A and B are shown apart, each in its own frame.
Chain A
Amino acid sequence: MIKQFIRIISWISLAILIAPALLFLFGKIELDQVKIIMLIATVAWFITATAWFTAKKA
């Protein structure tokens, strides 16, 4: 259950990684905001993906 949850979070973080660039393209947010959100999504992806990749290997 927890593994499933972490997996979902990791996929959401990838969606959040790309979403601000799309919003920027349509003029909804500024570039500085894109950069901050991307950094947060990056951290989230590497933490969660490492967890479920490691679990998968184990």
Chain B
Amino acid sequence: MEEQQQSKSEHKGEFERERVPKNALLGFRDFIGMYAGEHCAGTELMIGPLFVAAGVSAFDLVLGLIVGNAMAVLSWMFLCAPIATRSRLTLYYHLEKICGKNLVTLYNLANGVMFCFLAGSMITVSATALGVWFKFPMPGLNDLYPNSIGWVVAVLAVGTLISVVAAFGYKSVAKFANIAAPWMVLVFLVFGLVGLKQFIDVSEFQIKNAGDLWQLANTQIWKGGEPLTGQIKFTFWHVMFFSWFCNMAMHVGMSDLSVLRFARKPWYASASAAGMYVGHFMAWICASILYAYQLHINPENTDVLPGPMAFKAAGIAGLLCVVVAGWTTANPTIYRAGLAFQAIMPKTNRFKVTLATGAIATIAGMFPAIAMKLLGFVAIYGMLLMPMGAVIFVDFWLIKKFGLQSNYAEFSRKTFNWAAALAWFITLTVCTVLVKMTSIINWLIEIGMLSESKQVGWFRETFTVQIFFVSLPGWFIAAVLYIALSFVYQKKLRPSTQG
């Protein structure tokens, strides 16, 4: 979506360091198309099956997705859009005013690295399609490293192609992505319909009404129970929080300030529902049906390989969908990562930076760990950038109420706002400790600094937070920290201008 937005903005000027003028604003329908296209990506073909591998039940999946996606839309509408439509600045310019140029550079680095890994997982998805033609051994669900020369060559071929195209400019691919989007959505739907029919046939279920269909879903497709080996059990809460936070960098993390600054009204952010309920509801459910059918036929075959699954369901059209879905989303992701890195080294040639970025993404794509652990990776991605979203929110709405200065870096001409930086770092540290609490306590027991007791057990139980949930308390920690640290920082550095 950002690439479409960017191409539109290019016609009317980039407005990178100025407010978007009234004549460049976009209508509601523009945002529906953008969001629907953006969120029907190659990675949806991994996420749906991984829910099944996590032992999710039908009720938890369907209700979790309905509620979680609604929360995501509300986050776009009430956290991101009100700021975007008032300030009408890009995320980076807005952040620069608050944090200073050097801290934004650090943010760009973190963003660029995460984009590289995300693009790597998209390359992985596309490469699974080549396995259908060339029959090389492909990675399994719990593989962390490349498992065959054929796999490495396939990822290298796909990654090189995508990187070169991205380096030459992504606009033609963005146009192709626009054309492919409606087709891709329907192929995803076909996956679900075909998978459903195959389930009906193989289980000899008689579907006469919605109740029968629900029973089939409950007892055959999403049966719940134990997850597959090496996977975390997913409940309603996991599904809900995952679907809410999987785009956390964009809504709570405020990345979409750059997009929604073009919206005439804040409520235009409700267009994100098109992306959520097409890509993160229908597409995930359809992809998960294909994987559930594969497990139903052969419980030993736990491989999450979108290529072979799509080919079995929809033939060459399905295979093309896997390639196109991975390619059209990996391409702008590599381009964006390149831009993020180029912002750090402005004198470097963009072509070379994008190629180097593509090379990193390709190497990352060779390691199936990222794609196979995509649920966890996406949660980490959101967590990493979330504190800066909290900083922007607090700086925009609250900080003046505490008698503090907003846009402090611009005001004080600082290039590194330590209050914002420490809020970011400390929040990430606290979140990491909460996620790793069990391991930390076990390690402390192992080295003799703690002994196992009822209290220690209670502490471990209470304060271990799974990665899927930790960003919620993390946001509040970042918000409170930013205010508290700003009291100290602003007083210390500009005592004469305060009050």
Contact = CB atoms under 8 A, between A and B. Distances in A.
Contact of A35 (B196, B197, B314): B314
Given A18-B189, A18-B190, A25 B315 contact: no
Central interface residue in B178, B190, B320, by most chain A CB within 10 Å: B190
Contact of B182 (A14, A32, A34, A57): A14
A50 B179 contact: yes
B175 interface: yes
A21 B190 CA distance: 6
A21 B194 contact: yes
Contacts of B196: 25
A50 B172 CA distance: 12
Interface in A1-58: 14, 17-18, 21-22, 24-25, 27, 31-32, 34-36, 38-39, 41-42, 45-46, 49-50, 53, 57
Contacts of A50: 179
Contact of A45 (B183, B193, B315, B318): B183
B179 A39 contact: no
B315 A57 contact: no
B153 interface: no
Contact of B183 (A14, A25, A35, A36): A14
A27 B318 CA distance: 20
B398 interface: no
Nearest to A49: B179
A22 B197 CA distance: 9
A36 B180 CA distance: 19
Secondary structure type dominating chain A contacts: helix
B186 A35 contact: no
A25 B178 contact: no
B317 A35 contact: yes
B187 interface: yes
B316 A39 contact: yes
A18 B184 CA distance: 11
A48 B186 CA distance: 17
B197 A25 contact: yes
B264 to A, nearest CB: 23
Interface string B144-170: 000000000000000000000000000
Contacts of B183: 14, 17, 42, 45-46, 49
Interface residues of B, number: 20
Nearest to A54: B175
A38 B314 contact: yes
Interface string B188-218: 0110011011000000000000000000000
Given A46-B179, A49-B179, A35 B193 contact: no
Contact of A21 (B178, B180, B182, B189): B189
Contacts of B179: 46, 49-50, 53
Contacts of B316: 35, 39, 42
A1 B316 CA distance: 33
A38 B315 contact: yes
B175 A53 contact: yes
Nearest to A38: B317
A18 B189 CA distance: 8
A42 B197 CA distance: 22
A17 B193 contact: no
Contacts of A46: 179-180, 183
A27 B193 CA distance: 12
A38 B318 CA distance: 9
A42 B183 CA distance: 8
A32 B338 CA distance: 43
Contact of B175 (A34, A36, A38, A57): A57
8 contacts: A18-B189, A21-B193, A24-B194, A31-B194, A34-B190, A34-B194, A38-B318, A39-B315
Interface of B: 175, 178-180, 182-183, 186-187, 189-190, 193-194, 196-197, 314-318, 320
Given A35-B318, A38-B317, A41-B317, 13 more contacts: A17-B317, A22-B193, A24-B193, A31-B194, A34-B314, A38-B314, A39-B317, A42-B183, A42-B316, A46-B179, A46-B183, A49-B182, A50-B179
Query: 7 closest A-B pairs (Cβ-Cβ)?
Result: A35-B315, A38-B317, A21-B193, A21-B190, A42-B317, A25-B197, A49-B179
